[in-house]
Structure 1
């Protein structure tokens, strides 16, 4: 006896509501022809992943930074047309960007 049958036994008059499929659309960013450069550095002994070469609008730039930080669960910032993510997440970032339609180029290591 599964959960649905148990609920029907407890509440025989209840008609279940149809649940709409509320899939979230993937955010749309301005896509560019040039690849985004993904590189790894150490700053003050701590690893950082830097994304350079995104030349979209400021609002898209901020939205992309926020979505990357949320996806990875780490801190970061955007400065002077580059996105700085705390930690070495090159593989995950490149997969995320490719899923959203960007072309990505890995630099170093």
Structure 2
């Protein structure tokens, strides 16, 4: 009789698949195992990320709310999904 092996629950398998640290490790291993020169991919990648950061920061303004001097960030602004994604992109690119 074959040995019975218990499968992990579906929730655990899905959360493991979406673990960002595994993906980063995989990308790092792929880069290190190839015979790529560091400058061959580092410069275009850095340029692309800096450009994405500039575009995201330029589009995350206060939405043209007039002459409001928002020193402490107390002025309510629109909370749309695009604004959320832009701010998330800025945070991730800044890290």
Q: TM-score, normalised by structure 1?
A: 0.25
- Greater share of helix: 2
- Greater share of strand: 1
